[in-house]
Every structure is written in C-alpha cells, then in structure tokens.
A and B are shown apart, each in its own frame.
Chain A
Amino acid sequence: MRGRKPLKFKNNTLALDATDLKILEVLQEDARQTYTAIGKRLGIAHSTVYDRIRRMEQHGIIKKYTTMIDAEKTGTKNITAIMTIYTDPKESEKVAEKLCMAPQVLEVYTSLSEELQIIAKVVAENQESLHTFIANSIAPLHGVLRIRTSIVTKKFKETQLSIANDPKKLTLIKETYRIKEEKIK
C-alpha cells in the first residue's frame, strides 16, 4: 500500500491489521503464490501485497519460507519419541539449551506441573540409536533427575501454528476489522 502512514509499533513489534493477517494466512497455505495471485484472492493490489510482505519480512514476522516434507514418503524409517525430562529447577535452562543443540531434537519445551519438566520431541534411526542418544547424551547432563520416553506409534495430526488456528488473530480479523473482512470477501 503506497503512501500508507507509518505502521504503529508496540514494544518494537509491528502492529498488524486484518489485511496483513489475511496475507499471512494465504502464505501459510502456500508460500509459493505470486503477489498477483494473493492480491486477486484478497481483492487488493499486488503492490500492496508486495509492500506488506516486505515489511513483515523486515520486521521478522515472516521468518523464512520453508518446505514441509512428508518423511514417510521419502522412504526414511525414522522413529519419533516424546521425552519428558524431570530436572533440578536450577539446571533446567542449561539442560534445555543443551537439548536444543542436538540435531536429533526437534522441539524443546519447559513445563511446570508438580515438578519442573522439559518436554522434547526427538527423532532417531531406530530404538537402539534413540536409547544410545538418551543414555550417552541426555542422562549424563547435570540436573537431569529422570527421563520418561514415549515412542510415537502413529501420527494423527501435525501442523504449525498459523493464522487459521490462532484464536486471538481470528478474533482480531473478525471483530476489529469486520468491515475490511467483508470487503476482502
């Protein structure tokens, strides 16, 4: 959108409006669409799409364009496991950081229920290599109290957080920008 007023910043973040969110939603469905195709779909000029995408890239809202691969179809027979690592609260940050450094660890979270836990998703070639990795690289870390591991037997759903499944963003589109929404439709 040329000649548009500078966007508002809150805590150094870019304030997004309904059009930005719609563009993000469309990009998350297919990031290879042209600016023209996105513009046509949303009823806005391709130059607006270009400007807004560029701005969101510059502000790190769009971090990167990547490819989702169906690992099963590539013929790889990896196994996936979910590890719950019970830790000494003083050491949990360091344990989580070390986990993040391991290439076979895909996701790392901390959680506080009765005890401080780190939850991590890990892939391995087979059960033996999973066990070797946990025994040699995770169990010896300072602050690891015990580990529970569940091997995934069947995957029912795997998706990324997107505009389409973020309730807060959807409400923003539907309520705050109702008029624009209608125009877009």
Chain B
Amino acid sequence: MNIENATKILRTVPREKAFYFFTSIGNYTGESASSLKEFMEKINEVNVKSLEFHLCRRDFEKWINEVLEDKRLAEEIAKLQKTNLTGDSLRHQLYHTVWKRYQQLTSGF
C-alpha cells in the first residue's frame, strides 16, 4: 500500500457521500461518518441494531468499496457478514476488523 492510496482511503468525504447509520428502513439514528477514522469511532457508539441492519444489507462493504475505495477492507467486512454475528460480538469484531486496517493504512506515515 503506497502513501497515495492510503491517503485516498483515509480522506474525509463530503457529507452527501458520508455513511448514515439507520436502525431499519428509513429510521436514521442521527449518526454519520465522513471518514474511515470516524466510521471506526462510530462503530462503538451507534445502537448495535444499526450495525446488524447495515451488515445484513451489505451497506458497509458497499460504502467502503465505492466511496472510500478500499477493496481490501470491503472484502474483510464481506467475510464478517457471512459469520452471522450479532450484538456486542458483532460490534467487537467489526471494530477490530476496521481498526486493524486503519493501523495498516496509518503505519506508513
């Protein structure tokens, strides 16, 4: 991973491209993330129902792949989706997956 790519993935995106956390169809929690760092932080803050909702719909991997353009992390999250984890186990595992990637991306600076 070169610095240029890492910088691109770690950038802050405009609010219309941010990730908006919902707990079900049309029910927005008021929490959003405009960067990978913010996304990682919000994993520990949002209602766990929101994590379950988005993981099941594959919204996380879609946003990470299409907006942040991090295919590798998107693939890791896709694997997590197949584990059928729920509740705090899901929160913990998701945070760990994103944290690990975040460490990799920031280690080159």
Where the two chains meet, the residues of A that have a C-beta atom closer than 8 Å to any C-beta of B are 81, 83, 86, 127, 130-131, 134-136, 138-140, 142, 144-149, 151
Contacts and interface: CB of A to CB of B under 8 A. Distances in A.
How big is chain B's contact interface, by range?
A: 10 to 19
B27 A147 contact: yes
A43 to B, nearest CB: 52
Most central of B15, B27, B28, B32 by chain A CB within 10 Å:
B28
A85 B29 CA distance: 11
Contacts of A139: 20, 22, 28, 32
Nearest to A145: B30
B30 A131 contact: no
A100 B103 CA distance: 44
Interface in B1-41: 15-16, 18, 20, 22, 25-30, 32
Contacts of B16: 136, 140
A146 B23 CA distance: 11
Contacts of A148: 26-27
A140 B30 contact: no
Of the listed residues B26, B28, B30, the one surrounded by the most CB atoms of chain A closer than 10 A to its CB is: B26
Interface in B31-54: 32
Contacts of A147: 26-28
B20 A131 contact: no
B28 A130 contact: no
Contacts of A136: 16
Nearest to B26: A149
A144 B25 CA distance: 17
Nearest first, the 6 A-B pairs at minimum CB distance are A149-B26, A146-B30, A147-B28, A139-B20, A139-B28, A131-B25
Contacts of B15: 140, 142
A149 B30 contact: no
Contacts of A151: 25-26
A185 B69 CA distance: 74
A136 B30 CA distance: 14
B59 to A, nearest CB: 9
Contacts of A134: 22, 26, 28
A134 B30 CA distance: 12
Given A139-B20, A139-B32, 11 more contacts: A130-B26, A134-B22, A135-B20, A139-B22, A142-B15, A145-B30, A146-B30, A147-B27, A148-B27, A149-B26, A151-B26
Contacts of B28: 134-135, 138-139, 144, 146-147
Contacts of B32: 139-140
A139 B22 CA distance: 10
13 contacts: A86-B30, A131-B22, A134-B22, A135-B20, A138-B28, A139-B20, A139-B22, A140-B15, A140-B32, A142-B15, A144-B30, A147-B28, A148-B27
